[in-house]
């Protein structure tokens, strides 16, 4: 049985010191990662499809669990090494209201598109320590060769012209934040 993720507002003292700034930064995580890459930054598209969101995603987006949303999963890469697993959930009304189609991003960064939108608003960031058996942990690690004991993640809703987009970002094992 898969377990729901316990999301909460970040309490600085409870976050691992090496990840505090990464988890709480309100700017583009893509830009932060690009600045810290030792090798070439890239986006690896894992999937891009219509499906039902995870239960806690549907709840946060205020939509029925059985209603489909456009979901995009990528790895943000430093050379050949995945650093971040990012999962974006776009409700139907947001998807069809946009002229820029989310399914045409391919290996481009969603962050570059989002943070260049006029009037972009971001709800507060929530953080979680993911454990094996939780939906998001399993999605983030299904292509990793080594299974970590836990992973830190953050998520927030973005609003473009009052249309919601949920972005989940899971920090994969990395030297950048190795002293978790």
- DSSP assignments along the chain, one per residue: --B----B---GGGS-TTTHHHHH--S-HHHHHHHH-SS-EEEEEEEEEEEPPPHHHHHHHT--TTS-EEEEEEEEEETTEEEEEEEEEEEHHHHHH-SS-GGG-TTS-HHHHHTTSTT-EEPPPEEEEE-TTBHHHHHHHTT-SS--S-EEEEEEEEEETTEEEEEEEEE-S-GGG---
**What is the structure's pLDDT at 8?**
87
Residue with the bigger pLDDT between 37 and 68: it is 68
Query: Stretch 107-125: mean pLDDT, rounded?
Result: 78
Q: What is the pTM of this model?
A: 0.90
Query: Stretch 59-78: mean pLDDT, rounded?
Result: 93
Q: Is the pLDDT of residue 120 over 60?
A: yes
Pick from 60-64, 70-74, 95-99, 123-127: least confident: 95-99
Pick from 50-54, 93-97, 121-125: least confident: 93-97
Query: Stretch 14-41: mean pLDDT, rounded?
Result: 90
How far is 67 from 53, CA to CA, in rounded Å? 8
Rg (CA), the chain: 15
**What is the structure's pLDDT at 104?**
67
Confidence of residue 94 (pLDDT cuts 50, 70, 90): confident
**What is the structure's pLDDT at 1?**
45
Q: Taking a C-beta distance cutoff of 8 angstroms, is the pair 22, 36 a contact?
A: no
């Amino acid at each position: 049985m898969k377990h729901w993720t316990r999301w909460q507002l970040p309490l600085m003292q409870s976050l691992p010191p090496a990840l505090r700034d990464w988890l709480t930064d309100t700017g583009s995580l893509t830009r932060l990662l690009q600045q810290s890459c030792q090798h070439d930054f890239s986006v690896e598209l894992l999937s891009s499809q219509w499906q039902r969101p995870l239960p806690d995603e549907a709840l946060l987006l205020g939509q029925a669990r059985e209603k489909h949303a456009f979901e995009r999963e990528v790895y943000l890469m430093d050379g050949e090494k995945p650093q971040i697993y990012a999962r974006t959930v776009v409700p139907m009304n947001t998807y069809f209201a946009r002229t820029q189609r989310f399914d045409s991003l391919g290996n481009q960064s969603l962050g570059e598109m989002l943070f260049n939108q006029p009037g972009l608003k971001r709800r507060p960031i929530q953080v979680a320590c993911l454990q094996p058996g939780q939906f998001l942990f399993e999605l983030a690690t299904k292509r990793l060769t080594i299974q970590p004991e836990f992973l830190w993640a953050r998520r927030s809703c973005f609003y473009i012209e009052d249309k919601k987009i949920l972005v989940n970002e899971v920090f994969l094992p990395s030297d950048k934040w190795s002293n978790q």
